[in-house]
Amino acid sequence: MTKSKISKLTISTDIEVYNSEKDLDKKDAVLLTEAKNILKNAYAPYSNFQVGAAALLDNGKTVTGNNQENAAYPSGLCAERVAVFYAGAQYPGVAINTIAISVKAKNVVIKEPLSPCGGCRQVIAEYENKYGKNIRIIMSGEKGKIYIAKSIESLLPLMFSKKYL
């Protein structure tokens, strides 16, 4: 292939970076606290990596989830999917406005925000498509900076969606 037939696609993203929870809007801080609280109930005996998620719905309700592991991998489920699927089951027809995610590990202090795994990103993308609106994503480690993405597209560019089916 000659160089003249090759082009380049550059993909960039914007993530808001906050230095601490004190810098967050009050609603976001409360939602993140809920995610941090629910991660304590995660069932993570294999990875010792706890994740909590709290989803604020358009009706003002908040639902939470945490990771649930299983010795028969991949039978477990991530916190984000637990929260999103719970919202879909208990509040059908109500969109998710924001989801906050917090992580904690047994053997290491997580000092930076971690983003959802690829599977969870795709599930969040599905719910954005389902309701035709962006879902804000707040990401936090145990301490340190906090990231906020305006939409899953910030974390999953070139995402697959129903428009291809």
**Catalytic residue list:** 80
DSSP H helical ranges for the chain: 26-38, 79-90, 118-131
CB neighbour list of residue 28: distance below 8 Å, 6 or more residues apart: 98, 100, 138, 148
Cis preceding-peptide flag for 116 (omega within 30 of 0): no
Q: Nearest Cα to 40, choosing from 67, 13, 10?
A: 67
Letter string b/e over residues 30-39, b meaning 16 or more CB atoms within 10 A of that residue's CB: ebbbbbbebb
